[in-house]
Chain A
Amino acid sequence: MAWISRNWTMIGIIKGLIVTMKHILQVGNRKTVTVQYPYERMKVAPRFRGKHAVDEDACIGCGICEVNCPNSTIQIVKYDTRWFPEFNLGMCLFCGLCVDACPMNALKMTGDYELADYTRESLVYGPERILFKKEVSK
């Protein structure tokens, strides 16, 4: 006789149906939370850790970032008579330790997250793709 004690009103299902109906009829604030990705993007957080960028004027090529990287992502290479870090992003785990270790505050991480590529070689970001020049404020 266990079935007598059961709740036969199906109130749970009816409540659920009401909730979904509210969504279908767009009652209240039920905006779409996803975005049409390739056409529109969500704003990334300011401290988002994406692709690296090296300040061309500040970097002294000391190699401290190379030493601190847990994944040996960074290699110091010669570029245009000076030494700069080169990032093999296929190995990077975007931990940000290199940024913390830089004595000149030359390293930073941008919000660029679309890094998928066709070959492993093209994931090696040399200085030509990493360097940026800070706007000098007068």
Chain B
Amino acid sequence: MITNAYELIVAILSAIGVYDMILGYFQDMGMEFILKVIIVLVEIAVLLVFVLLTVMFLSWLERKMFAVVQARYGPMVTGPRGLFQPIADGIKLLSKEDIIPATADRWIFTLAPYIVFVSVLLVYIPLPFGESLIVSDLRVGLLYIIAISAVTPVSILLAGWASNNKYSLMGAIRAVAQDISYTIPLAITAIAVVVFVGSLSTVDIVNAQQGYWFGIIPKWFIFLQPLGFILFLIACIAEMGRIPFDFQESEQELVAGFFTEYSGMKFAMFFLAEYAHLFAVSGIIVTIFLGGWTGPAIPIIPIQITSLIYFIIKTYAVIFFAMWLRDTVPRVRIDQLLHIGWKIMIPLALLNLLVAAFVVTAGVI
């Protein structure tokens, strides 16, 4: 039984017939662990390339959709329909001067963008891209995701504070206030799902959603907990800091929020983190509420590939919704944001959890 990407790579190598040869070669030298390290490095490389390509595509998609909604063209010149615009942007950012303000706290200022990016990248570890396509099936996967997401506001606060700029600091403070007030309903709605599944592992959550009710309706948790889904979606959009909750970088008031002072490579890091986060969070929504990689099996094609395709399609549907919302609605006010978070979302999330717990305890499902 293959359970994660490491074993999948080993299985593929064995299927080609080279695994034993390579293993024997390393065993002769008495350094089996080096092979393990190499395979893990390959895994990381694949994940990184995937994330980078996704980020590039998402930034193009976002600009293009925004342009279409506003009756503009969007990027058009670089490549077909401007598809290579992110590459041009990346090269431009890399070749820009890396400015650190004279009064900034150099160490923290330099460190913050990398903490943001790494904390986002770590979310990908327990994310099931498909059947057995998971870096590591942690038994506390969901808890891990919520815990790692809680690192982001810290690094945002570091960035805002170290910039020594009033706009950065205001943006950082807002981001932290928002993240804290929306992580709570996020966690509570996630717990309501965990109550049904009885496990925090993301793979178990996906497996619990396999099959159909009455032969048609897929057993996704969105149908079991529509309220929970809506709350989770809103909380996720707020966590990501996207419109209508983009207080951390509200352009009209705060220049660019906590990354006002950043340029060049460090700015690129924040940019990468933003879109990598968008994909990761959409993946989590899909995993928890939209059945993850489950879908009708297609004969001949191996399940790893079909499940990956289902996962990507569903994730892009969620991303599309987030972008669609961004193109449509204006920003809410900061007091409305906290009002929605504390006075509406948290009570509703608790109610959702209560109903879920009651249903499970009463043994209705």
Residues in chain A within 8 A of chain B (CB atoms) = 3, 13, 16-17, 19-21, 23-24, 26, 30-34, 36
User: In the complex, are the beta carbons of B328 and A19 less than 8 A apart?
Assistant: yes
Whether A23 contacts B76 in the complex (CB less than 8 A), given A13-B328, A17-B324, A17-B325, comes out as no
Q: How far is the CA of A36 from the CA of B328 in the complex (A)?
A: 25
Give residues in B with beta carbon < 8 Å to A: 65, 68-69, 71-73, 76, 324-325, 327-329, 343-344
Neighbour of A21 across the interface among B71, B73, B324, CB < 8 A = B324
Complex alpha-carbon distance, A19 and B328, angstroms: 8
Q: Are A32 and B72 in contact (CB under 8 A)?
A: yes
Question: Taking CB as reference atom, which chain A residue is nearest B77?
Answer: A36
Contact B76 A36 (CB under 8 A): yes
Tell whether, in the assembled complex, residue A16 and residue B328 are in contact, meaning their CB atoms are under 8 Å apart: yes
Residue of B nearest to A16 (CB): B328
Which residues from B are CB-within-8-Å of A24? 65, 68-69, 324
Question: Within the complex, which residue of B73, B343, B344 is in contact with A32, where a contact is CB–CB below 8 Å?
Answer: B73
Residues of A within 8 A of B65 (CB): 24
In the bound complex, do residue B68 and residue A23 qualify as a contact, i.e. CB atoms below 8 Å apart?
yes
A20 contacts B69, C-beta separation under 8 Å: yes
Across the interface, A13 reaches (CB within 8 A) one of B69, B72, B329, namely: B329
With both chains docked as a complex, state the minimum distance between the C-beta of A5 and any C-beta of chain B, in angstroms. Answer: 15
Interface of A is mostly: helix
Inter-chain pairs besides A13-B328, A31-B71, 6 sampled, C-beta below 8 Å: A13-B329, A16-B329, A23-B71, A24-B65, A24-B68, A33-B71
Residues of chain B within 8 A (CB-CB) of A19 are: 328
Q: Which residues from B are CB-within-8-Å of A34?
A: 71-73
29 A-B pairs whose Cβ atoms sit less than 8 Å apart in the complex: A3-B343, A3-B344, A13-B328, A13-B329, A16-B328, A17-B325, A17-B328, A19-B328, A20-B69, A20-B328, A21-B324, A23-B68, A23-B69, A23-B71, A24-B65, A24-B68, A24-B69, A24-B324, A30-B71, A32-B71, A32-B72, A32-B73, A33-B71, A33-B72, A34-B71, A34-B72, A34-B73, A36-B73, A36-B76
What are the 9 A-B residue pairs with the smallest beta carbon separation, nearest first?
A16-B328, A20-B328, A23-B69, A33-B71, A20-B69, A34-B72, A20-B327, A17-B328, A32-B71
> How many whole Å from A63's CB to the nearest CB in chain B?
47
On chain B, the residues within 8 Å of A31 by CB distance are 71
Q: How far is the CB of A49 from chain B (nearest CB, A)?
A: 27
Closest to A33 in B: B71
Q: How far is the CB of B325 from chain A (nearest CB, A)?
A: 7
B317 to chain A, nearest CB (A): 13
User: Nearest residue in B to A12 (C-beta to C-beta)?
Assistant: B329
Query: Which A residues touch B69, using CB under 8 A?
Result: 20, 23-24
Say how far A33's CB is from chain B's closest CB, in angstroms. 5
Bound-state CA distance A33–B73 (Å) is: 9
Q: How far is the CA of A17 from the CA of B328 in the complex (A)?
A: 6
- In the complex, chain B residues whose CB is within 8 Å of the CB of A17: 324-325, 328
Smallest Cβ-Cβ distance to B71: which chain A residue = A33
**Bound Cα distance A23, B328 (Å):** 11
Q: How far is the CA of A24 from the CA of B72 in the complex (A)?
A: 11
* Chain B hits for A26, CB < 8 A: 68
Report the separation of the CA atoms of residues A16 and B76 in the bound assembly, to the nearest whole angstrom: 27
Q: Please indicate which of the listed interface residues B72, B324, B325, B327 has the most CB atoms of chain A within 10 Å of its own CB.
A: B327
B226 to nearest A CB, angstroms?
A: 15
Give Cα A17–Cα B322 distance, bound, in whole angstroms.
Answer: 11
**A98 vs chain B, min Cβ distance (A):** 37
Closest B residue by C-beta to A25: B68
